[in-house]
Every structure is written in C-alpha cells, then in structure tokens.
C-alpha cells in the first residue's frame, strides 16, 4: 500500500489528477462510530502550516503583510466528498481559507491528492483549500473558534431515511447549536439536497432554531456561491444529469432576539 | 462501525437490547459481554450545612440525619419504585433543600430534604449519567449516556402541581457522547457539561430554558482524555468565576469558563508519583472526583490508584494550581467519591462499589473516612491541618458509620472492598476509554459486519 501512496503522491506533484477508481469507498459512513483519527486539542492546535503552506511558510507565522492578524479558515464544507465545491470556490475567493471535512478515509485521501495535483499544475492557485479527515458532528469545536466561520456548506448530506437513524442527520436542532457557535453573526449556512423529505427536514430545523433566519430570495440571486451549490459537486452534477429536483435552504446566523 | 458497540457494551444484562437500540444495522460482536460486569462506584453527598449525609451504593440510598443523630428511611409514595438498578449520580442542591438521585434504572428521583419525601419521580429514555440542580431550586437537569441533557421544571406552587407534566424536556446535547458531569454556575447563568470526548461545553442557561439552551458560551478544550469531574468556584473580586475540571489524563485544570481559556494545569498523577506501567504503555491514573472549597482556593482530588486524596492550592491572581499536600489514608483505601461541607470544613470520602458477584442477601459494604480542616487555616501557624478523623471522631460516629457503611464490622470487608475497587477501575475504563484494536482484530470485526447488499 505504501508504494501506491508514493506513486500517487509523485503523480499529483506532477499535476496529474488522481483517478477515482483507485479510491473506491462506500457511500455511507457511520457518524456514531468512534474512529481513531487524530484531532487537534483545540483550534489553536490546528496545523495551518501543513494545510496552507503557501500562506504559512514556517517562520512567517502566517502573516501576509505587516501586522495583519494570522489568517483563519473562514469557509467550512461539511462532508465535502470528492472536493468539487472547494475546487469551485477556490478561485472565487482566492484570499479566503477553506477547509473540507470528510469522514471517509479513502475519499479524504483522494481530495488531498486532487488538491496537490491542482496546486502543482496551477502555481499560486488552489493554495487556499484543504481537507481533513474528521467527524465534524463530534469535533467541530476542536477546529473552529467561536464565530470564526463566515460560511458553512452542507451539500447533499446523507438522508438517513429510517426514522431511527434520523439522529445521524448532519442537520438537527442539537447540532445547529454548535454550527451557530462556529459561525459569526451574519454568517451563512448553505444546504441543498435532492431528497425532498430531507430538504423539508433541514428547512424546518433551520426555521425552528432561534439563532437562524432565512436569507431572502433576492439576496440569494446575487450570491455567486449559490449557483455552485447544484453545479460544482459530483453529486450535484449527477442530479442534474438525471433531471432531478433540488431543495435548497440557505439561512443566516442571527442574534437571539431579546424578550 | 462495530466500535459504537463499546459505548453500551459494559456487560450489563441488558446490553443486548440496549446495543440493539444503538445500532441495529450491524451484526454486533458481543465478545466482551460476559467478562465485563457492570460496576458502579459508591457515591457520597453531604448537605451544604452538614445536616445530613447520603450514600448511594448499587441501587441503595442510605441516609443519616446528623441534626437528629439518627438514620432515616426515605419515603416514596409518588407511585414508582425506589431505584431498581445502580445509582450513578446524586447531589444536594438549592442550598440543601433538594436532593436528586438517578442512574441505570432510568429514573430521576427528586427528594425534598425537609421531610425526605420523594417529591417527583421522572422517567428518562436512557440510563442517566449525571444530574444537577439549579441553585434557585427551580430546575433539575440530567444527562443520559447518549449525550442529551434534559430539564425538569419544579413548580413551587402546589396549585399547579397536578398540571405539571412529569416529562423532561431536552435542552442541549453532546453528540453521541456520554455526559460525565453537569453543573450549574453559582449564579445559574450558565450550565457546564463535560463528556467522554474530552470536551467541556459551557452554555448560557436562559430565563426560559424549556425552549432549549442554545447559546453556547464557550468550549473548554484541553483535556487529553475523558473529563470526569467539574466544579465551579467564584472567589471574591472576579466578574465571572472559574471552573475546575479533572480528567482521565490525570490532570486538574483551571478555566476561565466565560472565554473557554485554559488558565492552569496541574499534573496530579505525576506530582503524586503514581506512574503505572500497563503492558507497553506508561500512564498516570485518571482523576475520579474533585471537590473545591467555596472560594476555590483549595481543591481536593481523588485519583484512581492513590490511597488518599491530593489537596491543591489555587491562586487566581497568579493563575496557578499547585499541590499543597497529599493526605494519605490507609493502604487499601481508594476513594470513589468525595463530598464536602465548606461550612464545617470537613471532607467526606467513601470507597465502595456495586458488585453483582456478591450475593444479594448481604448489604453492599462501603468504607467512609472523613478529613477535617481541609481548607487552609492561615491563622494557625503550627501546621494547619487536614487531619484524618478516627471512626469515633466522625460526626454521628458509630451510628452513622454502621448505617452508611452497611456492615457492622468493616474490617472483615477489606477483601470485598479491594475487589470492588478493582472492578470499578475496569468498568470505568471500559465505559469511558475507546478500545483500540490491532489491525487483525479490526479486520475480523469487519468481517462480522452485517450491512452488505444482497446480490
């Protein structure tokens, strides 16, 4: 296996994109399971140098110019899959650091190789995106400080159809507390799915949660990110190919209304 | 995927049913079901003004009234049974007016301490792992092994009693993690919850909490293993107060909970020189309980392999935690729970466990030791002293000890107690620490997975 990894790395460094069939993975993964992957003790322990070497050359301490404070991750793609959204967002916001979080081991490896290949063949580009293998439902606060994120993405999450598995859904009232913690006031949460029942579920969770308010349609039309939701990812493209319908819920993190 | 089984595979007879609720689309490998007997540590709790002392061991609650100098039997006519399974959490609250007990029988019982009458008995969906009472006496919070924290409203007004629902409302959750402790901040503005996944969450406790406690104030992250105990302290002259925590990583930490900042860490296991070698790993034993004086300057810590307690000094201006003294008790005495009354400066410790292996006809034995003067007495120059009290010097002496210890002659129970202590160690380790399997074993477990599509 290690020789495969070496050749894969060599290939991506030369700019060749990884082939998906070498990274076969099951579509579902159990978020309840305790896997043994390393987790930072706290947001200050997140290894920025490793993920974004272009911005954090060792010794520079992440300062781009003068006394500007060190950059932090501002966009998080929860369940980033094969990285389609990150790759689509990267050129739109070249100075913003983005992190994909994915539970599946092999898929995370694929995304890593994809990003390395893109960086090699487009010098200076795609340096602002990276991926980490983790369970974001349990460990989100380990990566992000309070109010650190300005955007969070939940694209085509696992629907967990059976009633008894609803608690494994990535959007729930309980977890929205944590997403509200990580998002700054005014930050936006984007969700999309092709499963109508899940779309209703996510929309009603967001609607019911006092720390989130709907973003009006007019604003969504002006947001360049919204178009990417259905077109940038492999899942989204598949849905479009099959002529399926998508269900979107985009909400803003608001302050709790005083009584 | 099979690893989720370990959260419930602490070997209880209901493990099969409970595990099925957790994860039914797996073929669970119940390999450790029979060797792990579910053992709960004995717990002790003291009324804030030391009016009474309560011991919980197994499913029994033993109560001694120090004011009346007599043992008291609890009255329960709220319809339900007393606890039918191991009690996992007890606490006094609302300045001693209320007492709560809850555990593996999924019942939360709220007792009025004036009459020791069970005012409410609430059933929970899952086994309860932690309880807390708000200081104003209006709410009781409890947490289950699945990470959800529930709230019960206590209505003072008798007229409303019949209308009050006996159901608890979920207010927040630690996703799929066993919640180990719950505490309300002294002003009831915050609720702290700690879990098995090394985290402490501080949530704002709203004026109308039944709609949920959704504003997370901070996360206190820093522990490198499960967090086992919490205690708030509010010394004079500071706006928000502080939080102490102890964990499986053998440390006690001081936090500015308002911001989530870690202020100080004390490696108590290392300081008490308790290095253990288990197989290939060297480690320090976990902190099992801690108790702080009201102003937070002295913290008493119980560590799993220490036959005694460690007293720590906390200096809030310097932000330091240091070992003040190690109080040693007799050779085989390992406290499983601590309780203190700042009012009388006495620290009560207990050792014992529920142990299904002993015949049920004899009462479960426990051993109680009391340390007096644990708070520093600066005015006394000749060695302030925490002193360990002899049995005859303990308040309530023989009457209290024979009732709470459950056995007239405790010296005979030494071997039973030592076995119980060992069983508790194993049980806690299995419940709170993730199992690590070798590559071969993992592959074997994967083979038993039952989620393949049928061709």
ipTM: 0.85
For Cα atoms A78, A80, A84, give the angle at the middle one, nearest 5 degrees: 140
- The residues in B 394-453 lying below 8 A from A, measured between CB atoms, are 434, 436
Residue B264 burial (CB count, 10 A): 20
Distance of residue B164 Cα from the nearest chain A Cα, in angstroms: 24
User: Could you tell me the end-to-end alpha-carbon distance of chain A, in angstroms, rounded to an integer?
Assistant: 60
H or E segment and range at residue B399: helix B397-405
C-alpha torsion sign, points A153, A158, A159, A164? negative
Q: Which of A97-106, B70-79, B113-122, B319-328 has the highest mean pLDDT?
A: A97-106
Provide the pLDDT for residue A96. 95
Are A199 and A247 spatial neighbours (Cβ–Cβ below 8 Å)?
yes
Shortest CA distance to B213 belongs to which of B166, B261, B148? B148
Report residue A18 as tokens. 């990884």
Report how far residue A148's alpha carbon sits from residue A185's, in angstroms, rounded to the nearest whole number.
10
Burial class (CB in 10 A: 0-12, 13-18, 19+), B223: buried
- The residues in B 185-224 lying below 8 A from A, measured between CB atoms, are 197-199, 201, 203, 207-208, 211-212, 214-216, 218-219, 221-222, 224
A191 is in an annotated binding site: no
Query: Helices A234-241 and A224-231: crossing angle, nearest 10°?
Result: 70
Q: Which of B30-34, B263-267, B347-351 has the highest mean pLDDT?
A: B263-267
**Share above pLDDT 90 across residues of chain B, in percent, rounded to a whole number:** 33
Return the residue of B nearest to A212 by Cα.
B214
Provide the pLDDT for residue B192. 96
Provide the pLDDT for residue B12. 33
Is the model's pLDDT at B193 over the cut of 80? yes
B203 versus A244: the higher-pLDDT residue is: B203
C-alpha torsion sign, points B209, B212, B214, B219? positive
A122 is in an annotated binding site: no
Report how far residue B97's alpha carbon sits from residue A139's, in angstroms, rounded to the nearest whole number.
38
Mean pLDDT of A2-23: 61
Report how far residue B300's alpha carbon sits from residue B295's, in angstroms, rounded to the nearest whole number.
13
Q: Which of A101-110, B71-80, B294-303, B368-377 has the lowest mean pLDDT?
A: B71-80
Provide the pLDDT for residue B15. 35
Residue B240 burial (CB count, 10 A): 15
Three-class SS of residue B380? coil
Name residues whose C-beta falls within 8 Å of residue A144's C-beta, 6 or more positions apart in sequence.
Answer: A43, A73, A76, A182
CA distances from B66 to A221, B46, B368, B373 (A): 71, 10, 15, 19
Name residues whose C-beta falls within 8 Å of residue B84's C-beta, 6 or more positions apart in sequence.
Answer: B59, B105, B107
Task: Find residue B61's DSSP bridge partners.
Answer: B56
Subunit contact B3:A174, Cβ cutoff 8 A: no
Q: Which residues of A touch B260 (CB under 8 A)?
A: 146
**Residue B161 — pLDDT band, cuts 50, 70, 90?**
very low
Are A122 and A44 spatial neighbours (Cβ–Cβ below 8 Å)?
no
- The residues in A 167-186 lying below 8 A from B, measured between CB atoms, are 173-178, 180-181
Of these residues, A47, A105, A158, A177, which one is catalytic? A158
Provide the pLDDT for residue B14. 35
Three-class SS of residue B117? strand
Question: Chain B contact for A257, CB < 8 A?
Answer: no
Return the residue of B nearest to A138 by Cα.
B175
H or E segment and range at residue B130: strand B128-133
Q: What is the average pLDDT score of chain A?
A: 86
Provide the pLDDT for residue B59. 84
Mean pLDDT of A153-167: 88
Task: Please confirm, yes or no, whether A65 is among the known catalytic residues.
Answer: no
Report residue B114 as tokens. 């004036």
Is the model's pLDDT at A29 over the cut of 80? no
Q: Which of B90-99, B341-350, B374-383 has the lowest mean pLDDT?
A: B374-383
**Share above pLDDT 70 across residues of chain B, in percent, rounded to a whole number:** 78
- The residues in B 224-243 lying below 8 A from A, measured between CB atoms, are 224
Mean pLDDT of B444-455: 65
pTM of the model: 0.84
Alpha helices in B39-91 (DSSP H): none
Report how far residue A161's alpha carbon sits from residue B271's, in angstroms, rounded to the nearest whole number.
52
Q: Which residues of B touch A149 (CB under 8 A)?
A: none
Task: Find residue B84's DSSP bridge partners.
Answer: none
CA distances from B386 to B235, B261, B328, B397, B400 (A): 22, 32, 11, 19, 21
Q: Which of A246-250, B13-17, B345-349 has the lowest mean pLDDT?
A: B13-17
Mean pLDDT of A155-184: 91
């Amino acid at each position: 296996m290690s020789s495969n990894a070496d050749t894969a790395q060599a290939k991506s460094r030369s700019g060749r994109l990884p082939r998906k069939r070498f990274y076969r993975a099951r579509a579902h993964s159990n978020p309840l399971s305790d896997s043994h992957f390393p987790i930072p003790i706290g947001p200050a322990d997140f290894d920025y140098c490793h993920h974004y070497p272009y911005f954090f050359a060792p010794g520079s301490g992440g300062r781009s110019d003068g006394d500007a404070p060190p950059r932090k991750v501002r966009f998080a793609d929860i369940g980033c899959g094969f990285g389609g959204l990150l790759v689509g967002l990267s050129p739109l916001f070249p100075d913003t650091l983005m992190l994909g979080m994915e539970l599946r081991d092999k898929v995370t490896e694929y995304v890593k190789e994809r990003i390395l290949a893109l960086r090699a063949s487009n010098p200076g580009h795609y340096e602002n995106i990276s991926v980490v293998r983790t369970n974001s439902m349990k460990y989100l606060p380990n990566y992000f400080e309070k109010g650190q994120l300005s955007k969070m993405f939940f694209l085509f999450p696992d629907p967990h159809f059976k009633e008894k598995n609803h608690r494994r859904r990535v959007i729930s009232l309980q977890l929205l507390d944590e997403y509200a913690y990580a998002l700054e006031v005014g930050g936006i949460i984007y969700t999309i799915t092709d499963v109508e029942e899940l779309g209703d579920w996510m929309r009603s969770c967001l609607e019911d949660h006092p720390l989130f308010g709907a973003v009006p349609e007019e604003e969504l039309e002006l947001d360049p990110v919204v178009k990417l939701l259905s077109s940038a990812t492999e899942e989204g493209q598949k849905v479009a190919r099959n002529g399926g319908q998508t269900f979107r819920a985009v909400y803003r993190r608001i302050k709790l209304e005083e009584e | 995927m099979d690893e989720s089984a370990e959260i419930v595979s602490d070997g209880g007879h209901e493990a099969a049913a409970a595990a099925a609720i957790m994860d039914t689309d797996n073929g669970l490998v119940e390999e450790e079901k029979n060797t792990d007997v579910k053992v709960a540590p004995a717990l002790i709790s003291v009324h804030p003004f030391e009016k009474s002392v309560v011991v919980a061991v197994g499913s029994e609650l033993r109560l001694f009234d120090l004011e009346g100098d007599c043992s008291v039997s609890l009255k329960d006519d709220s319809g339900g049974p007393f606890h039918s399974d191991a009690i996992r959490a007890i606490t006094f609250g609302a300045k001693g007016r209320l007492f709560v007990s809850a555990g593996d029988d999924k019942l939360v019982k709220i007792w009025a301490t004036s009459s020791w009458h069970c005012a409410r008995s609430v059933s929970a969906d899952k086994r309860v792992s932690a309880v807390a009472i708000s200081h104003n006496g209006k709410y009781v919070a409890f947490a289950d092994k699945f990470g959800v924290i529930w709230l019960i409203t206590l209505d003072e007004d008798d007229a409303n009693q019949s209308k009050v629902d006996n159901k608890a409302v979920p207010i927040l959750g630690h996703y799929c993690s066993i919640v180990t402790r719950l505490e309300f901040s002294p002003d009831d503005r915050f609720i702290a919850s700690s879990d098995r996944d090394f985290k402490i969450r501080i949530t704002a406790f709203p004026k109308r909490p039944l709609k949920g406690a959704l504003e997370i104030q901070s996360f206190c992250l820093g522990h490198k293993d499960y967090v086992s105990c919490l205690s708030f302290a509010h010394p004079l002259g500071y706006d928000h107060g502080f939080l102490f925590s102890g964990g499986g990583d053998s440390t006690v930490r001081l936090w500015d909970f308002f911001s989530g900042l870690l202020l100080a860490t004390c490696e108590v296991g290392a300081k008490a020189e308790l290095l253990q070698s288990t197989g290939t790993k060297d480690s320090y034993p976990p902190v099992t309980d801690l108790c702080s004086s009201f102003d937070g300057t002295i913290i008493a810590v119980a560590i799993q392999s220490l036959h005694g307690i460690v007293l720590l000094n906390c200096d809030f201006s310097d932000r330091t935690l240091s070992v003040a003294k190690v109080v040693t008790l007799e050779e085989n005495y390992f406290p499983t729970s601590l309780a203190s009354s700042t009012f009388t400066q006495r620290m009560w410790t207990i050792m014992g466990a529920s142990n299904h292996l002993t015949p049920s006809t004899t009462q479960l034995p426990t051993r109680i030791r009391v340390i007096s003067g644990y708070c520093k007495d600066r005015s006394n120059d000749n060695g302030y002293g925490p002193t360990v009290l002899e049995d005859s010097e303990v308040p309530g002496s023989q009457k209290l000890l024979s009732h709470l210890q459950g056995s007239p002659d405790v010296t005979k129970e030494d071997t039973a107690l030592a076995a119980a202590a060992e069983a508790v160690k194993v049980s806690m380790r299995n419940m709170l620490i993730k199992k690590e399997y070798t590559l071969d074993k993992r592959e074997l477990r994967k083979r038993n997975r039952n989620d393949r599509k049928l061709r």
